[in-house]
Structure 1
Amino acid sequence: MDIREIQNLIKFVAKSGATEVKLEMDDFKITIKTTEAGAAETTYIQQMPMQAMPQMAAPVAAAPVSAAPAAPVAAAPAADDNSKYITIKSPMIGTFYRKPSPDKPTFVEVGSTISKGDVVCVIEAMKLFNEIEAEVSGKIVKVLVDDASPVEFDQPLFLVDPS
């Protein structure tokens, strides 16, 4: 199961209204729990074959990823100002980078004009660098994440003015 399939599963569970879904395969187990606010909380547990584990090793389980708290009510006026902009969101969990490498220029800056399909950043997940492409054309209005910062699934990265 790849990251896209896991992301689609999380979206489906969040929209379905189910409170908990467990999926067990030969090599891994995924548990997705939803909260009252509808945000999905995901626990990933990687299980190793018994032959590969050393005899004295203790079993390791991943801690649940807590859902982000809801935005405070005071942020509502700011949302109205940004309602005319389109948000480019993170399609995965990982580390956000604005440059392809430390010695190269950034992909986009505030004021940059982008077209659909242009690479706007990369997100590193499990030692793989995934290029994130713009799904819209427009002008970058705001960069919402600092370079080399961890990002969550569906976290806003950029605001784009489509006009």
Structure 2
Amino acid sequence: MMSWMDRIREAIELAGRSGVTEMEFRDGGFHIRLSRNSTPSTSVALVPPPSTQTLGPAGDPAISAALPRVVEKVRPSGHIISAPAYGIFHQRPAPGSPPFVVVGDRVEQGQQVGLMESMKVFSAIEADASGTVMELLALDGEEVDAGAPLLRLL
């Protein structure tokens, strides 16, 4: 049987691979909401179950009041290029060399925009869309999870 932490890890991985931006789970007394936006992290909110005194029919204001409010952030427009797997993101082919792309560069679909290092194996990260680099969302040499945003194109 999987622990709830294993389930959270699996859900985060699935969200990263599928492009889903939001998931919600309820299991017994646990309520978990996963939400992904353009920042380099995935937020995980663990909400304690309401006490048995506040339980009531669905939509009961007592239940709604017991759950925290989630404020929706404005998501910037554009296309996000995400990490294909867990590893270390590299913006340049070798130390001291110029980066693959910088803010303002025009990239074409299939163009290499970075490298992913995982277990001493380097894999090319290619743009899955064409556009102009508007923002670098991961630092050179930063450890990132699968699905983490790396670049934003417009």
TM superposition score normalised by structure 2: 0.58
Alpha-carbon distance in structure 1 between the residues aligned to 2:151 and 2:117: 17
Q: Aligned-pair distance for 1:34?
A: 1.8
Q: Aligned-pair distance for 1:104?
A: 1.4
Counterpart AA for 2:147: D
Alpha-carbon distance in structure 2 between the residues aligned to 1:68 and 1:160: 20
Is 1:134 the equivalent of 2:127? yes
Alpha-carbon distance in structure 1 between the residues aligned to 2:143 and 2:9: 25
Aligned 1:73-112 pairs, distance under 5 A: 73=70, 76-77=73-74, 79=75, 82=76, 84-112=77-105
Counterpart AA for 2:91: R
Which of residues 26, 30, 34 is equivalent to 2:7? 34
Alpha-carbon distance in structure 2 between the residues aligned to 1:145 and 1:37: 22
Superposition CA RMSD, Å: 3.1
Q: Aligned-pair distance for 1:117?
A: 0.5
Alpha-carbon distance in structure 1 between the residues aligned to 2:113 and 2:72: 26
1:70 alignment partner in structure 2: 44
1:124 alignment partner in structure 2: 117
- Structure 1 gap ranges (5+): 1-18, 21-31, 42-66
Deviation track 1:110-141 (CA, whole Å, cap 9, x = no partner) reads 00000011000001000011110001001000
Number of residue pairs matched by the alignment: 104
Counterpart AA for 1:76: K
Q: Aligned-pair distance for 1:70?
A: 3.0
Native 8 Å contact 1:33 1:40 kept in 2 = no
Deviation track 1:81-107 (CA, whole Å, cap 9, x = no partner) reads x1x200000001100110000121100
Alpha-carbon distance in structure 1 between the residues aligned to 2:73 and 2:137: 17
- Structure 2 gap ranges (5+): 15-40, 46-68
Native 8 Å contact 1:34 1:40 kept in 2 = no
Counterpart AA for 1:33: D
Indicate the percent of aligned positions where both proteins have the same amino acid.
Answer: 28
Alpha-carbon distance in structure 2 between the residues aligned to 1:96 and 1:153: 11
Q: Aligned-pair distance for 1:69?
A: 3.2
Flag the 1:36–1:155 CA change in 2: closer, same or farther, 3 A. Answer: closer
Flag the 1:68–1:76 CA change in 2: closer, same or farther, 3 A. Answer: closer
